[in-house]
Amino acid sequence: MSKTTLTRRGLLKSGIATGAGLAVPTIFTGAAWAASHSGFTNAPGDSEVVLGFNVPQTGPYADEGADELRAYELAVEHLNGGGDGGMLSTFSSKTLDGTGILGRKVKFVTGDTQTKSDAARASAKSMIEKDGAIMITGGSSSGVAVAVQGLCQEAGIMFMAGLTHSNDTTGKDKKANGFRHFFNAYQSAAALGPVLKALYGDDRKAYHLTADYTWGWTQEESMVAFTEDIGWETVNTVLTPLSATDFSSYIAPVLNSGADVLILNHYGGNMVNSLTNAVQFGLREKMVNGKQFEIVVPLYSELMARGAGQNIKGIPGSQNWDWKLENEKGARYVGTNAFVQSFGEKYGFPPSQAAQTCYAQTLLYADAVARAGSFNPCAVVEALEGFEFDGLGNGPTLYRADDHQCFKDVVVVRGKENPENEFDLVEIVEVTPSEKVTYAPDNEMFAGGNLGECNPGA
């Protein structure tokens, strides 16, 4: 461990290697919080604690939401001592022992975000006010994440973001009570840039179709910046509504634009539909500017690949995690196999990146409470800020104190040409080290936000 890590923050909060040993001093911090701040929103009783899982059960991201909910239920089972324990055994921090959280049995309630910010806030508000949820997590839309994170900040509740990829979540809209384990648009683009140059060269003309909300905007901005940095020209950028299901009218103009690459800044059902339309229009068979026309999807998952079917073959993109990581890339990604085994035994198929993210967020919250010795959100925030850990499948990971963004390796993938089965549609092209996708807290793409102070609520 470097001297830099052995700072006051690193000494108190690092979970790597020594796990609970280094976390012990944080317990005293948590005890002090509990003593001086006895009132906080939804303080649990002595027997149980309630977590709120707010996922898209309907709408364009419903497939992701279903897998998130599976992972949350599995995490609760493991926290309460059921099953094989999953990644509790591989997590570098050793405070969780299968007896719940601080001796309380973990229970949960669920809500449907509908992939709509207003609906997500309403369901989160209900879980907080009616069900006594002390932590809210979930979602597969950055618009939802930003909205619910703001609500949790106001209510004095912890928000452990699920699948949210917009730079804004830990940029201009960051909040002290919120943390993100998922990577962001900047990190995807930084990892993809060199790969796209190697695949397609440095003389390309790109046309962007972009989901018209916070994620799409920042994904487009990031991809434009990094593709132009490798020499590509941006021909056009066109916004599409999140509610769209037929993208034919948006694909047609691409044919006469002079572009030889289409970048689909779409996710979930939107991406499946827009990619399908692009293939139906024959884009992948076109020769433009003397080059084979190519399609890039900066962010996608195995679930989306399954929805896209044959159309995903050869399409490059990025992922937060892949269920094959530990087998293909070695022990650096320890924890992956343990999670895949647990999830597979329970549900009969491998987990998605959304599932792994949400499972990890639940364990990280529970671990922070245990290390802090308190459910007070401000004690939990302090336990998470600057926390370094390993064993949750992503390799060595940091929760940066400046913005509550997670920093870890980024997986660059491509649709397999000859998949062995319906769950093996994506191949890992390379894994970009964390240091190559790390940026300064004041990077201009993340400007304008203020983390503020933790709010313990009542």
Question: If pLDDT is split at 50, 70 and 90, which confidence band does 32 have?
Answer: very low
HSE (side-chain half, CA atoms, 13 Å) at 210 = 22
| 299-316 average pLDDT score | 94
The reported pLDDT for the residue numbered 140 is: 85
Residue 10 banded pLDDT, cuts 50, 70, 90? very low
* Phi, psi angles (nearest 5°) of residue 136: -115, 140
Query: Looking at residue 281, what is its pLDDT?
Result: 96
- pLDDT tens for 380-438 read 999 999 999 999 999 999 999 999 999 999 999 999 999 988 889 999 999 999 999 99
Lowest mean pLDDT: which of 176-180, 350-354, 417-421? 417-421
* Mean of pLDDT over the chain: 91
Residue 2 pLDDT greater than 80, yes or no: no
Q: Does this chain's domain 8-183+332-403+441-446 share its CATH topology with 186-319+412-437?
A: yes
Tell me: pLDDT of 369 over 70: yes
Calculate mean pLDDT across residues 84-99. 98
**The CA-based dihedral angle spanning residues 11, 12, 16, 19, taken in that order and rounded to the nearest 10 degrees:** 130
pLDDT above 90 (res 178):
yes
Q: Is the pLDDT of residue 295 over 50?
A: yes
Provide the sign of the torsion angle of the four alpha carbons 305, 191, 340, 215, taken in this order. Answer: negative
The CATH H-level superfamily of 186-319+412-437 is Response regulator (3.40.50.2300)
Q: Which CATH number fits domain 8-183+332-403+441-446: 3.40.50.2300, 3.30.70.1290, 2.40.37.10, 3.30.565.10?
A: 3.40.50.2300
Sign of the alpha-carbon torsion through 145, 367, 349, 345: negative
Which pTM value belongs to this model? 0.91
Tell me the Ramachandran region of residue 102: left when phi exceeds 0, alpha when psi lies from -120 to 50, beta otherwise: left
pLDDT at 34 over 70: no
Please say if the pLDDT value at position 24 is more than 80: no
- Does residue 181 contact residue 157 with C-beta atoms inside 8 Å? no
Tens digits of residue pLDDT in 309-330? 999 999 999 999 999 999 999 9
Pairing of strands 135-138, 48-55: parallel
Q: What is the pLDDT of residue 352?
A: 95
| pLDDT value of position 60 | 87
pLDDT at 420: 87
Q: How far is CA 298 from CA 11, 190, 218, 384, 454, in A?
A: 37, 11, 12, 29, 33
Q: How confident is the model at residue 38 (pLDDT cuts 50, 70, 90)?
A: low
pLDDT at 23 over 60: no
Average pLDDT over residues 259-283: 97
**Per the structure block, which two tokens stand in for 415?**
């649709």
Domain definitions of the chain by residue range: 8-183+332-403+441-446, 186-319+412-437
DSSP 8-state class, residue 299: B
Q: What is the mean pLDDT of residues 258-270?
A: 96
E strands of 334-454, at which residues?
Answer: 388-389, 397-399, 406-407, 410-415, 426-432
φ, ψ (nearest 5 deg) of residue 107: -120, 165
| Amino acid letter for position 298 | P
Q: Region 119-128: what's the mean pLDDT?
A: 97
Q: Is the pLDDT of residue 376 over 90?
A: yes
pLDDT of 16 higher than 90: no
As a whole number, mean pLDDT of residues 286-292 equals 97
Q: Decide if pLDDT at 4 tops 70.
A: no
Q: Flag whether pLDDT at 363 surpasses 90.
A: yes
Proportion of the chain above pLDDT 90, given as a percent: 88
Helix (H) or strand (E) holding 78: helix 62-79
